Amino acid sequence: MTKKEFKEKFLLVFLGILTFFALKNFNAIWGNLCTFFNALLPFIYALLIAYIINWPYTFIRENFFDKVYKDNKKLSKILSMIAAYIFVIGILAFLIVIVAPQLILSFEHLINNISHYLGIAEVYTKRTLDFFNLDEEQLFNTIQNIFLAGNENLTVKIVNLAVNFIKNFAVIIYNWTIGIIASIYFLFNKEKLLHQAKKILRAFCSHKIYDAISYTMSLTCNCFGKFIIGKIIDGIIIGILCFIGTTALFIPYSVLISVIIGVTNIIPFFGPFLGAVPSIFILLIVDPTKALYFIIFIFILQQIDGNIIGPRILGNSIGISGVFIMVSVIVGGGLWGVPGMIFGVPIFAVAYSIMSKILNDKIKSAPQKDEI
């Protein structure tokens, strides 16, 4: 046995033993990985924030400050960063100032009139039960029993929920605060960090592997950037159009419904349906006739978005068919919840592009065979 063969077999045995122990202690390893991931969460947020702000930062720097301060790149970088953060924070603040008061009023009005709306819902429920010849008393007794059964130890449950909410909210605020601060460092030292990463790759990887990693990272960056920015713009446009349409149709809670539709529209394929369900439920309680108008309107709006607005904004940035988009949303949602539903599409698109390139290279390099 040669030395090379011995190394290969030893490595194979070692990997087999390592895989066996990893599977045997999967729960412990997974728990430690989750703890490690939670510790890194602020820096993941920082990378996400820096990635998003990098788009306006690059545009502002290349088109304004680099031209004004040609001989002072550091000052141009600092002013561009300040302008980019002010721009993004300004947009968020504007949306909060404009939308938040209307959302609060909508919630207050909904809560204050909930008894009236429940009375209307009860009337429609009775009519529906009479139409289908169902036993009304038995149905309401069943619902009441379910409600009472679920309210055992209600005080303890409410206290636990409140404590968990406060704890989780504090953790979220801490993570995002650290993330914003760290994103400034990442963005300011972007060129230096990228140069160091390239040096590490060149030192430990062959040219072929380095080129493959560089291609994958470039493809991922472009695909994610175009997809995320495009879906945000698309969601804002759909939210505005939904507000205009619901206001014109005198549909109540137009601001609340438009925000729900605009936010959920960021989720590909299933987003419009996820946003429409709670909106229709609210309108069914308030006014079932308006709910029917809304269903027709939202169907027309989503057709316009899917066939006109969405393709014009996103273009061919995804590069995969509707079937693959649906599969990636379902699988991503099953693995990682709502974030998986959003990011599953660009992840699948990147994997699809890489596999297509590998297959095309294989076909081109394969010897040509005579046709049969």
Which ranges in 61-189 belong to alpha helices (H)?
A: 66-68, 73-112, 114-131, 136-149, 154-188
The set of residues, in sequence order, having a beta carbon less than 8 Å from that of 301 and lying 6+ positions away, is: 238, 241, 242, 245, 261
Domain parsing of the chain, residue ranges: 27-107+160-204, 208-357
Q: What is the CA radius of gyration of the chain?
A: 27
Q: What is the model's pLDDT at position 194?
A: 86
The CB density around residue 233, as the number of other CB atoms within 10 Å, is 13
Question: Which class for 130: exposed (0-12), middle (13-18), buried (19 or more C-beta within 10 A)?
Answer: exposed
Query: What token pair was written down for 319?
Result: 């590069």
Query: Residues 319-344: pLDDT tens digits?
Result: 666 677 778 878 887 777 777 777 88
Q: Which of 313, 331, 321 is nearest to 235 (CA)?
A: 313
Residue with tokens 């472009």: 222
Q: Could you tell me how many residues make up the chain?
A: 372
Helix (H) or strand (E) holding 19: helix 3-24
Q: What is the model's pLDDT at position 297?
A: 92
Q: Which of 335, 302, 306, 320 is nearest to 223 (CA)?
A: 320
Phi, psi of 91 (to 5 degrees): -65, -45
CA-CA distances (angstroms) from residue 64 to 52, 186, 371? 19, 22, 59
Give the whole-angstrom CA distance, residue 95 versus residue 16. Answer: 55
0.75 exceeded by pTM: no
Query: What token pair was written down for 160?
Result: 């636990």
Give the whole-angstrom CA distance, residue 297 versus residue 261. Answer: 12
Residue segments in the chain with a per-residue pLDDT below the cut of 70: 1-4, 6-8, 116-118, 120-122, 124, 129, 131-158, 314-322, 366-372
Q: Which of 212, 218, 222, 220 is nearest to 361 (CA)?
A: 212
Q: Which of 286, 256, 258, 252 is nearest to 272 (CA)?
A: 258
Q: What is the model's pLDDT at position 67?
A: 87
Q: What is the model's pLDDT at position 244?
A: 93
Evaluate whether 44 touches 50 at the Cβ level (below 8 Å): no
Query: Residues 28-80: pLDDT tens digits?
Result: 777 777 788 888 888 888 988 898 899 889 989 989 888 888 888 888 889 99
The CB density around residue 297, as the number of other CB atoms within 10 Å, is 18
Give the whole-angstrom CA distance, residue 7 versus residue 17. Answer: 15
Give the whole-angstrom CA distance, residue 124 versus residue 287. Answer: 10
Q: What is the model's pLDDT at position 134?
A: 63
For the chain, count helices (H), then strands (E).
14, 0
Question: Which class for 270: exposed (0-12), middle (13-18), buried (19 or more C-beta within 10 A)?
Answer: middle
Give the whole-angstrom CA distance, residue 362 versus residue 356. Answer: 10
Q: What is the model's pLDDT at position 275?
A: 83
Q: Which of 48, 84, 293 is nearest to 183 (CA)?
A: 48
Give the whole-angstrom CA distance, residue 311 versus residue 289. Answer: 32
CA-CA distances (angstroms) from residue 367 to 317, 360, 363, 364? 33, 13, 8, 8
Give the whole-angstrom CA distance, residue 253 versus residue 235. Answer: 18
Q: What is the model's pLDDT at position 337?
A: 77
Give the whole-angstrom CA distance, residue 302 versus residue 305. Answer: 5
Q: What is the model's pLDDT at position 371?
A: 44
